[in-house]
Amino acid sequence: MMTSLPTHRGDDGSWICQKESITRQYKFLRRIVKLKFNQMVFQFALWQMVYLMTNPAKVYKNSRYRKDTKNQWARDDPAFLVLLAVFLAVSSILFAIILKLSVPGFFQFLLWVIFIDCIGVGLVIASIMWFICNRLFKVRGGFDQNVEFGYAFDVHCNAFFPLLVILHVLQPILWHVMIDGDSRLCTVLGNTMWMSAMCIYVYITMIGYAALPFLKGTEKLLYCVPVVLILFLFSVLINWNWGRRLIHFYKFRIGE
């Protein structure tokens, strides 16, 4: 993951920090590209996933420990990202069954979900939040720190996991039971899952940035929750089933 580079270039210390940042990025990417699983701590990553579902604030306490010991907020171990891709692959099988995809269609769907829905959208959201936090929420004076881009992407991945469980695991399982239908009840049940997933995403994102001591006012991110609720009520009013529309969209973009 990318980490923010120092803004002051006039002293040797800044260049040392910049060199350390580039070194961390290289090691992180090398572990992913070369799949050095022996250097990844998967047990700890699984522990984080469990707590993201039960007590997400506890996950971010480790970020403070990482900052004190390794002088960086972002993860230096890609194990979480690798496990996230594995969970996406498994959950995509459920969607493939619902969509009745062929084997090539399944792999096309899987690649789209991992590299577009998760990583691509995540990079966009992380970029926006990285910019907003460093411009609007950072305390002026007292802390000469910036939000690392890698940490912003970590926050997205953390918030994305519960959303994945709700929309890529629970939704396919309950699809034929209570969601796939034209009735308003199906719309309410299906859209409630979407509303819950998005609200949880916003909440975990908020506490992720609230964990940084040099940011202030991050609770304003919760203003997105009323917007989600309004969209939910409007979708129910017009009987617009988000889950069914998603299925049609997936079928369209993979050509099956």
**More reliable by pLDDT, 157 or 150:** 157
How far is the C-alpha of 209 from the C-alpha of 206, rounded, in Å?
5
Quote the pLDDT of residue 143. Answer: 56
The answer, yes or no, to whether residue 17 has pLDDT greater than 60, is: no
Nearest 10 degrees: Cα torsion 242, 247, 251, 254: 80
Are 3 and 17 in contact, with CB atoms under 8 Å apart? no
Model pLDDT, residue 98: 82
Average pLDDT over residues 15-32: 52
What mean pLDDT comes out for the span 38-56? 89
- pLDDT band for 3, please (50, 70, 90 cuts): very low
Residue 88 makes CB contacts below 8 A (sequence gap 6+) with: 110, 113, 114, 118, 164, 168
pLDDT of 228: 97
Angle, helices 184-210 vs 224-237, to 10°: value is 170
Which pTM does this prediction carry?
0.85
Residue 172 pLDDT greater than 80, yes or no: yes
The pLDDT tens digits for 118-152 are: 999 999 999 999 999 999 999 876 456 888 888 99
Compute the distance between CA of residue 237 and CA of residue 206 in angstroms, rounded to an integer. Answer: 29
Beta-carbon count within 10 A of 27 CB: 14
Where do the domains of the chain lie? 12-254
Taking residue 36's Cβ as centre, other Cβ atoms within 10 Å add up to 12
Better pLDDT: 142 or 80: 80
pLDDT top residue among 97 and 36: 97
Q: Of 242, 230, 254, 255, whose CA–CA distance to 186 is shortest?
A: 242
Which of the two residues, 80 and 34, has the higher pLDDT score?
A: 80
Give the total residue count for the chain.
256
Name the band, by pLDDT with cuts 50, 70 and 90, for residue 20: low
**Residues 191 and 242: beta-carbon distance below 8 Å:** yes
pLDDT of residue 238: 94
- Does the pLDDT of residue 105 top 90, yes or no? no
